[in-house]
């Protein structure tokens, strides 16, 4: 999430009422999670296990709960609770704005786009030309939709990401300040749910087709011309490269990458990154021929046990 105008280290420290290490005029351009940070961004870290990853990331400023040695060219914000302070920044720079109509006057809709009854379109939404948005679709604030997109009934674009910190007495929610981007020529089936990014964008690439009841988690990026069948569930921060096929009820855990032109058979569970140009099956998913051989071998086990018992 980028700020509308650059801020200084001192300005952010004052906003958070925290100490800092670095030049008071050190420029800050935005905030982001560790997997999408860029130079100029603030990233937060609150566990020693991840200190080095945050300090060595592309982020220019690290919001951290301990004063440590600051890498050259970077700055630190010293916070008692970086998680809560990161939420403060999200809420300050991208606050929730209540809707006043079914279609926000701040939205922009392209030529020849058809909006069916009972569609909700939030603030600052951009919809391209020649799109069809069917009844009861909900499009949250700041969503960007390209040209020639079809969205079927009941789909929701831009709900909050599922991201919580387990506190002693409750689950503390990390606020979502990102958005959803749907590129040109995408079709979304009925009752799909695509969560917005926590700090970046959840993206569906050009020409991809999603069947009914597909879920896409926060900050996931789906490439071009992917084919995703019904009831697939994709967690947050997943990268799915171009021309991937996911058949029905595939489940994908967070933070993995699915390589270009991979094909994953129905009801498979993906728990690690998979190379492209291969077919996969099973849970945990593995190359389909290997998995079928394993299954055939398992069927032989009762006969082997029976022979051993007769010895």
Q: Is 140 exposed, middle or buried (0-12, 13-18, 19+ CB in 10 A)?
A: buried
Active-site residue flag, 218: yes
C-alpha to C-alpha distance for 116 and 244, rounded to whole angstroms? 31
Total Cβ atoms within 10 A of residue 67: 10
Distance CA 230, CA 37 (A): 32
**Is cis: bond before 284, omega within 30 of 0?**
yes
Distance CA 162, CA 164 (A): 7
The CA-based angle 297-301-306, given to 5 degrees, is 150
DSSP state of 36: G
> Pick the catalytic residue: 134, 152, 215, 218?
218
Q: H-helix or E-strand containing 5?
A: strand 2-8
Q: Which residues are catalytic?
A: 218
């Amino acid at each position: 999430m980028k700020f509308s105008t650059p801020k200084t280290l001192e300005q952010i420290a004052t906003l958070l009422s925290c100490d800092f290490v670095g030049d008071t005029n050190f420029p800050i351009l935005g905030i982001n999670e560790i997997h999408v940070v860029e130079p100029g961004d603030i990233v937060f870290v609150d566990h020693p296990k991840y200190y080095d990853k945050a300090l060595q990331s592309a982020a220019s400023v690290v919001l951290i709960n301990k004063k440590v040695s600051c890498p050259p060219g970077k700055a630190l914000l010293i916070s008692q609770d970086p998680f809560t302070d990161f939420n403060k920044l999200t809420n300050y720079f991208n606050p929730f704005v209540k809707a006043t109509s079914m279609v926000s006057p701040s939205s922009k809709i392209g030529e020849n786009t058809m909006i069916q009854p009972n569609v909700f379109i939030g603030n600052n939404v951009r919809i391209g030309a020649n799109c069809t948005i069917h009844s009861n679709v909900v499009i949250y604030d700041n969503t960007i939709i390209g040209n020639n997109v079809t969205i079927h009934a009941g789909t929701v674009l831009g709900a909050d990401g599922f991201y919580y910190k387990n506190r002693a007495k409750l689950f503390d929610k990390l606020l979502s300040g990102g958005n959803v981007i749907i590129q040109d020529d995408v079709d979304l089936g009925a009752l799909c749910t695509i969560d917005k990014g926590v700090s970046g964008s959840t993206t569906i690439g050009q020409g991809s087709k999603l069947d009914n009841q597909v879920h896409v988690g926060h900050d996931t990026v789906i490439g071009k011309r992917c084919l995703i069948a019904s009831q697939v569930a994709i967690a947050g921060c997943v990268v799915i490269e171009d021309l991937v096929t996911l058949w029905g009820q595939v489940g994908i855990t967070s933070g993995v990458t699915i390589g270009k032109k991979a094909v994953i058979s129905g009801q498979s569970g993906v728990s690690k990154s998979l190379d492209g140009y291969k077919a996969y099956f099973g849970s945990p998913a593995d190359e389909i021929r290997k998995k079928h051989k394993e299954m055939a071998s398992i069927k032989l086990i009762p006969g082997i046990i029976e022979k051993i018992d007769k010895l």
